[in-house]
Amino acid sequence: MSSDSAPQVSLKYKFKMADSRSISFEVILSPDKLAYQTISNTEKPSWTNLGFHMCEGCKLADTGVNHCPVAVNLQDIVTTFKSDVSYDLIDLSIETAERTYSKEQVSMQIGLSSILGIIMVTSGCPTLDQLRPMVATHLPFASIKESIYRAMSMYLLAQFTRAKNGLEPDWTLKGLSQIYTNIDAINISMVKRLQAGVEEDASLNAVVILDSFAKLVPMSIDGSFGGMEDLFWPYLKDEPIS
């Protein structure tokens, strides 16, 4: 099936709040590049201007882009939940074509971190684009160990793909550490942006959660990747794999 005829990728988020509110968002991605499908009539408040708390080393600076694509795509959700508190408990379900994920009594910040993370990575930021392959296997409510496993697996598969295409691979994961160091800086700037568009802290702390993971990945690469190194004992035998 060609990318032209393949269906769009859809993730349907449904938030059920304690005050009986029920809010739904559908994230739609292109089937080939997993690019966020922006609503054409989206407004662009001042805090979405590219120069407003612009990330250090922004790759879109001096390219003619006037608005941060990540901020533009986040604004609907940020505005909707601008008065929500991070520790408020909600019930959340996420429906995809393959399965439905659900969790009761999860904090608002955890729920928002899932959908904000998807949109940030698929909005066209050249730095965040490097995590886009992970969207294909998005795992809501993932633990730290699961997230580290997925990030490292994604990066190593990317290096295998580079090698197959005649490019120099990085089997040391140094490049992955640098990616997350750069993303850490983006998250810090994004929190400053969002402060101009919210009244409470739910969206802010959702990004802080994403940033906590960005800080953990480089440390895990230098250590035993989240304590999972022992899982690979079958591959440490000094004998040919048959």
Domain membership flag for residue 242: no
Domain containing residue 119:
9-236
Q: How many Cβ atoms from other residues are within 10 Å of residue 133's Cβ?
A: 17
The pair of three-digit structure tokens given for residue 153, joined into one six-digit string: 């697996």
158-163-168 Cα angle (round to 5): 95
Domain membership flag for residue 165: yes
Domain membership flag for residue 4: no
Domain membership flag for residue 117: yes
pLDDT in tens, the chain (242 residues): 445 577 899 999 999 998 888 999 999 999 999 999 987 667 789 999 999 999 988 999 999 999 999 999 999 999 999 999 999 999 999 999 999 999 999 999 999 999 999 999 999 999 999 999 999 999 999 988 899 999 999 999 999 999 999 999 999 999 999 999 999 999 999 999 999 999 989 999 999 999 998 888 888 887 767 678 888 888 888 776 66
What's the total number of domains in the chain?
Answer: 1
Q: What's the rounded Cα separation, in Å, for the pair 13 and 238?
A: 47
Q: What's the rounded Cα separation, in Å, for the pair 153 and 134?
A: 9
Q: Could you tell me the pTM of the whole model? A: 0.89
Q: What pLDDT is recorded for position 242?
A: 60
Q: What's the rounded Cα separation, in Å, for the pair 73 and 69?
A: 6
Domain membership flag for residue 131: yes
Q: What pLDDT is recorded for position 222?
A: 75
Beta carbons within 8 Å of 34's beta carbon, 6+ residues apart: 9, 122, 132, 135, 136
Domain membership flag for residue 101: yes
Domain membership flag for residue 55: yes
Q: What pLDDT is recorded for position 219?
A: 84
Domain membership flag for residue 70: yes
Query: Cα–chain-centroid distance for residue 225?
Result: 20
Q: What's the rounded Cα separation, in Å, for the pair 111 and 83?
A: 15
